[in-house]
Chains A and B, each alone.
Chain A
């Protein structure tokens, strides 16, 4: 297998790599839709789709007759429905841009994973993944995710509908705001791992936990700076994919359906597909950056096996299984990310526009910058002095920067009071004197 792959022309091998990434996503998108509907209904204490795919009374195997299959065929039914729906195209639209926009929304979702590894860099998987092992892995993800806004904005513009336009404008403002915090959070990881390649980031996470426990892996989510970066990146990730609670561009109770109001049938389905594919690939990026990529548990099985002892054979077996099953583990982590996306959607109400901007610019961005400075101090002091002093310096810098940030946020109370737009019940201008008179 490996020799055959090595003998292939590089272009053909690259094509195989692309297909191995894109085809599974295309096949999994219906699964995501099913997962979302089932999980949402479970979380909201509803039944959800459970009838589609009920096995018929005439099925040859007797004990399966009349059994329900958790609505597994629901996404296929949805797909068929969307495909046969009437395709309404409004008259006064910008035709070219109107038709290009769904494709532009789909492109970044699939291109995003171009540098993402779903298996180890040595052996067979080294040939099959990532699609391009370039020096600019993280920057590539940032660049492509920033292109995601075009599909939405152009759809909003070309539809020639004020609600669509509002949705498009909201999307562009939202994506620009959250890209910055995302970029700084990614820069923290680049600093900590010393590389922009995803493969090397995963290999950094396979090193000894806190530099002291070689049996365990140092996933970035276990370290304080990595945890903060993970939280920031996670929030920005949800905002970048326009998912609840950041689904202002398609807020159905404010602007109908936002940018895809005028899209029907398959063109709407393409937007839908792009959203789910982007969610999945972003979950994969999150898993690679913070959750140790394709490693199932944060344990260095190979190290344990090399230590010898009675269980060395077992550790060696697990280490081999870890290598060969790594794509499965990567998929599992990405599915975990999808489940968290759905969980967040079921839990949190939609943000208001000013809350969105406050969160993006005044909370996430300063937090990410504080994290960045603390990591830089930690690395510098660790390299010049020793790791213990470095950790101490990083902790002190966290505290100092937090109070600096607090003092800045609290300085202009008048301006904040003016910006505060939440209306509480007590603030309503009630007229106790005139109301009974009006009632009479």
Chain B
């Protein structure tokens, strides 16, 4: 009987633990009433997602995930939520109308769209992670500054315009 069970490798245990936690936290983001707790669920979700990237040897991607999303964006989210001082039930009144139905339909449609694009290429995957240096800063830096230097520069200009625009909107006198 025991021999019939599929063998579980340490890699699978790691992945299942991380992915399960990430999925639970993703549910928690939408299921919890308290906005601060939802935000904290999102923080944990981003944090755990970074560890999944680490297990795939995408080190730079994982650390950027923590640095940008967990460390900067979610802190701003929390800051805004706490400044507004919302309490859970006042801002999310339960109403019976067509919104949930349309929302679920659109969500399922989006899921189907992404799944149709992702699932087919995933059939060809044979290895559990990339080579060690695949996601290293050196490899990504070289690719960014050789093959993709124009998209990179254009993106940086776009970000700069965004920064200048946001300062202009927020503060007329500097």
**A interface list, Cβ under 8 A from B:** 94, 96-97, 134-136, 139-140, 142-144, 146-147, 149-150, 153-154, 156-157, 165, 168-169, 172-173, 175-176, 179, 196, 412, 414-415, 418
Q: Are the C-beta atoms of A153 and B78 separated by less than 8 Å?
A: yes
Query: CB within 8 A of B82: which of A134, A165, A175, A196?
Result: A165
User: When A169-B79, A172-B78 are in contact, do A94 and B173 touch as well, CB less than 8 Å?
Assistant: no
In the complex formed, the residue of A with least CB distance to B139 is: A135
Q: Are the C-beta atoms of B138 and A154 separated by less than 8 Å?
A: no
Query: CB within 8 A of A143: which of B36, B43, B71?
Result: B71
8 A Cβ contacts from B5-52 to A? 34, 36-37, 40, 43
7 residue pairs A–B, Cβ–Cβ below 8 Å: A94-B36, A97-B36, A135-B136, A143-B66, A147-B71, A149-B75, A179-B71
Q: Are the C-beta atoms of B59 and A146 separated by less than 8 Å?
A: no
Smallest CB–CB gap between B35 and chain A, Å? 10
Q: Are the C-beta atoms of B82 and A136 separated by less than 8 Å?
A: no
Query: CB within 8 A of A146: which of B60, B71, B133, B174?
Result: B71
Query: CB within 8 A of A176: which of B37, B70, B76?
Result: B76
B174 — which chain A residues lie within 8 A by C-beta?
Answer: 412, 415
- How far is it, in angstroms, between the C-alpha of A143 and the C-alpha of B76 when the chains are bound? 15
Q: Are the C-beta atoms of A136 and B63 separated by less than 8 Å?
A: yes
Query: CB within 8 A of A173: which of B40, B70, B79, B136?
Result: B79
A97 — which chain B residues lie within 8 A by C-beta?
Answer: 36-37, 40
Q: Are the C-beta atoms of A176 and B75 separated by less than 8 Å?
A: yes
Kindly state whether residue B112 has any CB partner on chain A within 8 Å: no
In the complex formed, the residue of B with least CB distance to A194 is: B138
Q: Are the C-beta atoms of A146 and B75 separated by less than 8 Å?
A: yes
Q: Are the C-beta atoms of B137 and A196 separated by less than 8 Å?
A: yes
B59 — which chain A residues lie within 8 A by C-beta?
Answer: 134-136
Q: Are the C-beta atoms of A153 and B75 separated by less than 8 Å?
A: yes
In the complex formed, the residue of A with least CB distance to B85 is: A165
Q: Are the C-beta atoms of A142 and B67 separated by less than 8 Å?
A: yes
Smallest CB–CB gap between A147 and chain B, Å? 6
Q: Are the C-beta atoms of B63 and A175 separated by less than 8 Å?
A: no
Kindly state whether residue B72 has any CB partner on chain A within 8 Å: yes
User: When A94-B34, A135-B59, A179-B71 are in contact, do A414 and B79 touch as well, CB less than 8 Å?
Assistant: no
In the complex formed, the residue of A with least CB distance to B36 is: A157
B129-172 vs A: 1/0 string, CB under 8 Å? 00001001110000000000000000000000000000000000
- How far is it, in angstroms, between the C-alpha of A179 and the C-alpha of B75 when the chains are bound? 12
Q: Are the C-beta atoms of A139 and B67 separated by less than 8 Å?
A: yes
Kindly state whether residue B83 has any CB partner on chain A within 8 Å: yes
Query: CB within 8 A of B137: which of A135, A143, A172?
Result: A135
A139 — which chain B residues lie within 8 A by C-beta?
Answer: 60, 63-64, 67, 137
8 A Cβ contacts from B49-90 to A? 59-60, 63-64, 66-67, 70-72, 75-76, 78-79, 82-83, 85
B79 — which chain A residues lie within 8 A by C-beta?
Answer: 153, 169, 172-173, 176
Q: Are the C-beta atoms of A147 and B66 separated by less than 8 Å?
A: yes
Q: Are the C-beta atoms of A153 and B82 separated by less than 8 Å?
A: yes
A168 — which chain B residues lie within 8 A by C-beta?
Answer: 82
- How far is it, in angstroms, between the C-alpha of A143 and the C-alpha of B62 when the chains are bound? 10
B34 — which chain A residues lie within 8 A by C-beta?
Answer: 94
Smallest CB–CB gap between A154 and chain B, Å? 7
Q: Are the C-beta atoms of B72 and A176 separated by less than 8 Å?
A: yes
In the complex formed, the residue of A with least CB distance to B47 is: A147
Query: CB within 8 A of A135: which of B37, B66, B67, B138?
Result: B138
Smallest CB–CB gap between B127 and chain A, Å? 20
Q: Are the C-beta atoms of B66 and A136 separated by less than 8 Å?
A: no
